[in-house]
Structure 1
Amino acid sequence: MGSKAQDVNEATWEDVVLDSPTPVLVDFWAEWCGPCKMVAPIVNEIADEYDGKLRVVKVDADANPELVTTYNVMGIPSLLLFKDGAVIDRVTGYKPKAQILSKFAPHI
């Protein structure tokens, strides 16, 4: 069955991301972004593999400009790792799965 990244927006942000008891990986993406489409299956694989230890969510950057500004998202895709309501690490642009995990795994 597996889990899939959940969509969040400015309205659900605080409940889903900031108040989460587990770390949250946030994928900032946009419909027109080619590299975002390339990283999406990797993000879903991470959601499956870390189910229970990591919450994985997606934010449509075009639909949620306040979140993009608040968290200084300069390029997409941007993967931000939140723990206890704060950004503790980030990966910008398409990266292979191993590279993404090597950056985030120590925090999970």
Structure 2
Amino acid sequence: MALFGVKPRTRIATLAIILGAPHTSRGYGTDAVKAAVRYAFDEMAVNKGELQVWSFNPRAQRAYEKAGFIQEGRRRAATFHRGAFHDEILMGILRDDYECLTAEG
């Protein structure tokens, strides 16, 4: 997992994570993303976290949603994987979103 690309002016961090077998379907990805989001806002003082995820990866999309990310856009047919074209989904979370989530408990 990595948080990268933070610039002082924009204060946007890009999140990237790779999780493979045998660690999938155990909640590790969701926990890791939540920890990264917490670190980005509480320690790095970013204003926004963003990421890209392929449409053929619904488990990752769900993990990101559980951490507070929302879909902001879509690049249609942005990759070719296993014989078909797939969209790239752009997701983001703002500091305000994060603070609402942490206030809810």
TM-score (norm 2): 0.25
TM-score (norm 1): 0.25
Could you say which structure has the larger radius of gyration? 2
**Which structure ranks higher in relative contact order (CA pairs < 8 Å, sequence separation ≥ 6)?**
1
